[in-house]
Structure 1
Amino acid sequence: MRILDRYILSRFTFNFISSFVILMFIFIFQTIWLFIDDLAGKGLDIIIIGKFLFYLMPDLTEKVLPLTVLLSSILTFGALAENYEFAAMKASGISLQRAMLSLIVFVTLLGGVTFFFANSVIPLSQRKIYNLRKNIAKVKPAAVVSEGVFSDFEGMNIKVDEKYGDNDRYLRNVIIHQKNDRNQNNVVIKSEQGELVSSEDSDIVQLILTDGHYYDDIESKKNKLKYPHAKADFDTYIMNIEIPELNNEDLEEERDISTDKMKNISRLRKDIDSLRDDNYRIVRAFSKSIGNRIGMFQPLDPNDTLDKKTPLQITQDSIRQIKLAALKNNPAKQDSIKEDLLHLFPFYLKMQVVNAAKNATTNVLNSVRGKKEEMQKRYKIYNMHILSMHNKYALAFSCIILFFVGAPLGAIIRKGGLGLPMVIAIVLFLVYYFIGVFAGNYAKEGNIHPMLGAWLSTLIMLPLSIILTKRATEDKGLMSFGVVTDFFRNLFKKKKKNGGQDI
């Protein structure tokens, strides 16, 4: 059996390594195609591009490794079944589970290595990629600016007609749309010449503009028609663009919601607890603030007496009594309470009361809408941290589950090579991958729990692996229609027999 285990393990290892190398090259070329706009025509040397692709390889492993396990298991067991080697094993009394034993141990160890890889190497590579892109922006800031199109450059959109000089630091015909806090382009700057000045020792990039014009749309609270905009001409205008600290792991998640990929499990757990506590604290504080603004849940002072009350307090007590009486006597007349309350005030105060109520309601609704958008962003960051943590566990288990999908499937289809096994492996992987993508997107938006979003694709493949392993052990085909055909055949026989009796 040791000879057989070594033989099966060597075949699987060869298919695994060759499939991993081929698929990694395919995904690297796909990445180059996706990032061609960021890499081509930016004056970057081959070493920087090589580092960029090298740091991307661990992130690509999340996609390549499950597909590699699935494909290599189908290739290995498909070739063994096609060459009747499985038939010889079964004739010798060796079951499918015993033939898979060495590979089960190998795939289990591979799952452990994958978990370590996802927890340590991938976060490090993400930080390296982030730092490399920021270093490019510092040393070669012109690399992030393309000619003839608008480029997003540190909070503003910039377009240049031509770049020239050392490291393309000099710009010609510069147009800048500067964004404000509400992400609106109120400021437009046009200049004939520009120069980008940067240093490795500084986090500030200076953009020196010459011979230009400055336009600013001013929002006037009194009358917008009086001051529509401000205009100025300049000979030299210097803009200081700050680049955040690169190696600082305490970046604000609101600025970059992808920083969860740069953290390991221990850091994710700590940040998940802090984010949850912060969200609860913000919601409670906002709820208390809204309650105080609209006067809800204000307890009455039991020590107050009628003699000590002011006319306003007397009016408030009267309003409460009318509300309680109306609700107690006839709950159906709740809509008429508003009209009864207005009769308590003189005629000249009725419109003021109504307008004050409308303004207060509008202000509260605007505050709630703004806070809702803020909390949606914060909950999305919170969900992404949970999703990222469970993805590390799910990736390790997915390798084991997909092995139990591919190995019995290869024994059932009895085909080796890169024909039918490759097609089946790609179809199954696409199903697994797209389920994971859709579940992850739903989890980020809070439609499903992030834990379910991370584990859904693996949980769907789990029953498939059990069914295929059972069918391969019992020497059954991929699909059996015998039960269905026998059911309909017996059903038609009964109908014919009953029809003959009636005649």
Structure 2
Amino acid sequence: MKKIHLLLLKSFIRPFAVTLFIVMFVLLMLFLFKYIDDLIGKGFAWYTILELMLYNSATNVAMALPLSVLLSTIMTYGSLGENYELVAIKAAGISLRRAMYPMIVVVSVLSISAFFFSDYMLPVANLKYFSLLYDARQQKSADLLPEGVFSRNFPDYTIRVKRKDPDGQRLYDIMIYQKSSDGNNTIVTIAREGLMFRTMGDKYLVLKLKDGVRYEESPSENVQWNPRQVLRRFRFKETEQKFDLSSFKLKRTDENEFKSASQMMNLKQLRGFIDSVQTQVDGTLSTNYKMLTPYIKYFSLPAKSAAIKRFIPADKGGVLKSMKLTEQIMALSTASSEVRSIKDVVKNRTDRYNSDSMTIRRYASEVQKKFTLSAACIALFLIGAPLGAIIRKGGLGLPVVISVIFFLIYYIISTIGEKSVRAGNVSTFFGMWVAIIVLTPIGLFLSYKAATDSVIFDIEIYKRFFNKLIRRKSN
């Protein structure tokens, strides 16, 4: 029995490691294709790109792990069935359910590990990843002086280079506009050619200009009214201008600014945040009546007593009929003003309540995600293992197609459920667990069919069935 368990474990670990690597690689390529324009050409160090890819890989575990479990189990049991090893196991008096015990233990350990990963490591990875990606996307391009474009990469300067050598060092037909103290472009430098290089430590960019002229406008001196402009012109054979490169270095934003997002919190922090927001919402609801009371004017009449000589009965036709025309107009104007004030107050309070409720639903759905990842691994295993035993095909052919179909069903249902939760259409628990609720009965049904040697995927049986139907219709 131990040899059979070792055989199953060896048959599962290798496909699982390979499929997990392939899925992670594909998701990483999707990330690079999506943000290639934000990363290329900005002068990042190689370790910065590697760090970003590492954090992205950690955030992809929530999608890659269930798919890898599904695909590897189909491949494992499909390969065993294709090589008639499952037949030999059953011939030895060992049922399929008993043969699945070591796999169930391994998948259970993976599910528990996935929960702890999503609760402890994933929030840290999300924080590092999104903060670094935000800073990378905000970074300026490393192409400081593109050809034929008025570049404003440097503060207070607008520079145009008509042509550059292939090495990017020698420049031709250079025009530099520099802002003066009053914010106008009154200083212009034109040069026929120039040489561009950086100082040690990439602190400054130096332009060594040749054969040019510098124009500068400034107000005349010692004139209090209607100052005339003074134009100065300087010709030079060679001069240098330095530009600060500090704005082109990657500046890291404080990570504390991202910690309030739901993806950056663990289970304890999420529940604490939800409780605080819920307390705030409950307090707001209790104060709504107190805020609306000053806008509602009403009068209460005391009970009839001996002190009151005579009561004036109310007009059954309405209160307004007992008033004069001017009093009616004033009463209606006052009432409409009070209604508008109440509507404004209620609208502001309603918008705030809806915003807080949406925040609670978003954070509550993140709480359920911590558990659905583990449940998804078990549910997809219950589908993959019997499917592999039924179809009896190993490798990366038919198992890949079937696993992708079931994973797409799981992903689409879970996405629709999550969006419905955040929109407030369904409860948080049902919306986040609907995919597991749908797939688990399918997995149990397939497990039953595999244990009873069902031929549910035998094409010949379906051909015979449809041929019988055609014959009956023809008769």
TM-score past 0.5 threshold: yes
Contact 1:59 1:122 in 2 (8 A): yes
Whether 2:421 is the aligned partner of 1:443: answer yes
Distance in 1, matches of 2:23 and 2:349, equals 46
Quick one: structure 1 residues 302 and 469, their matched pair in 2 at CA, closer, same or farther if it must change by over 3 Å?
A: same
Distance in 1, matches of 2:399 and 2:95, equals 22
What SS class does the counterpart of residue 395 from structure 2 fall into? coil
> Which residue among 172, 180, 183 is the counterpart of 1:210?
183
Structure 1 residue 300, shift from structure 2 partner: 4.0
Whether 2:140 is the aligned partner of 1:162: answer no
Whether 2:369 is the aligned partner of 1:410: answer no
Give matches, 1:469-488, under 5 Å.
469-478=447-456
Which residue identity lines up with residue 8 of structure 1 in the other structure? Answer: L
Larger Cα-atom Rg: 2
Deviates more, 1:343-352 or 1:62-71: 343-352
Aligned equivalent of 2:375: 397
Quick one: structure 1 residues 276 and 47, their matched pair in 2 at CA, closer, same or farther if it must change by over 3 Å?
A: same
Structure 1 residue 465, shift from structure 2 partner: 0.7
What SS class does the counterpart of residue 184 from structure 2 fall into? strand
Deviates more, 1:94-103 or 1:460-469: 94-103
Partner deviation per Cα, 1:75-104 (whole Å, 9 max, x = no partner): 000111111111111111111111111111
Aligned equivalent of 1:463: 441
Deviates more, 1:268-277 or 1:282-291: 282-291
Which residue identity lines up with residue 57 of structure 1 in the other structure? Answer: S
Distance in 1, matches of 2:412 and 2:110, equals 23
Distance in 1, matches of 2:377 and 2:276, equals 32
Structure 1 residue 318, shift from structure 2 partner: 7.6
Distance in 2, matches of 1:478 and 1:269, equals 45
Aligned equivalent of 1:31: 31
Which residue identity lines up with residue 23 of structure 2 in the other structure? Answer: L
Partner deviation per Cα, 1:360-395 (whole Å, 9 max, x = no partner): 222322333333222222111100111101111111
In structure 2, stretches of 5+ residues that fail to align are 160-176, 186-251
Partner deviation per Cα, 1:152-202 (whole Å, 9 max, x = no partner): xxxxxxxx963445xxx67649xxxxxxxxxxxxxxxxxx879xxxxxxxx
Partner deviation per Cα, 1:404-463 (whole Å, 9 max, x = no partner): 110001111111111111011001001100111111011011111112121111111110
Deviates more, 1:41-50 or 1:13-22: 41-50
Whether 2:333 is the aligned partner of 1:355: answer yes
Aligned equivalent of 2:105: 105
Structure 1 residue 470, shift from structure 2 partner: 0.3
Whether 2:58 is the aligned partner of 1:80: answer no
Contact 1:163 1:172 in 2 (8 A): yes
Distance in 2, matches of 1:398 and 1:429, equals 10
Distance in 1, matches of 2:77 and 2:326, equals 90
Structure 1 residue 134, shift from structure 2 partner: 5.7
Aligned equivalent of 1:233: none
Quick one: structure 1 residues 473 and 128, their matched pair in 2 at CA, closer, same or farther if it must change by over 3 Å?
A: same
Distance in 1, matches of 2:89 and 2:107, equals 22
Aligned equivalent of 1:261: 263
Give matches, 1:41-120, under 5 Å.
41-120=41-120
Structure 1 residue 354, shift from structure 2 partner: 1.7
Aligned equivalent of 1:186: none
What SS class does the counterpart of residue 210 from structure 1 fall into? coil
Contact 1:134 1:246 in 2 (8 A): no
Quick one: structure 1 residues 276 and 117, their matched pair in 2 at CA, closer, same or farther if it must change by over 3 Å?
A: same
Which residue identity lines up with residue 211 of structure 1 in the other structure? Answer: N
Distance in 2, matches of 1:342 and 1:4, equals 93
Distance in 2, matches of 1:279 and 1:287, equals 14
Percent of residue pairs identical: 28
Distance in 2, matches of 1:306 and 1:262, equals 72
Aligned equivalent of 1:286: 288
Distance in 1, matches of 2:444 and 2:290, equals 53
Quick one: structure 1 residues 299 and 433, their matched pair in 2 at CA, closer, same or farther if it must change by over 3 Å?
A: farther
Structure 1 residue 285, shift from structure 2 partner: 1.7
> Which residue among 385, 393, 396 is the counterpart of 2:363?
385
Quick one: structure 1 residues 89 and 133, their matched pair in 2 at CA, closer, same or farther if it must change by over 3 Å?
A: closer
Whether 2:399 is the aligned partner of 1:421: answer yes
Quick one: structure 1 residues 476 and 250, their matched pair in 2 at CA, closer, same or farther if it must change by over 3 Å?
A: closer
In structure 1, stretches of 5+ residues that fail to align are 149-159, 174-191, 195-207, 213-242, 252-258, 309-313, 327-336, 497-503
Quick one: structure 1 residues 349 and 455, their matched pair in 2 at CA, closer, same or farther if it must change by over 3 Å?
A: same
Distance in 1, matches of 2:145 and 2:103, equals 54
Contact 2:259 2:265 in 1 (8 A): no
Which residue identity lines up with residue 425 of structure 2 in the other structure? Answer: N
Give matches, 1:239-250, under 5 Å.
245-247=254-256
Q: CA RMSD in A?
A: 3.8
Partner deviation per Cα, 1:232-251 (whole Å, 9 max, x = no partner): xxxxxxxxxxx985326774
Equivalenced residue count is 383
Contact 1:28 1:57 in 2 (8 A): yes
Partner deviation per Cα, 1:291-313 (whole Å, 9 max, x = no partner): 43224xx68485998989xxxxx
Quick one: structure 1 residues 364 and 108, their matched pair in 2 at CA, closer, same or farther if it must change by over 3 Å?
A: same
Distance in 1, matches of 2:373 and 2:431, equals 13
Give matches, 1:272-283, under 5 Å.
272-283=274-285
Contact 2:127 2:259 in 1 (8 A): no
Contact 1:59 1:125 in 2 (8 A): yes
Structure 1 residue 5, shift from structure 2 partner: 0.9
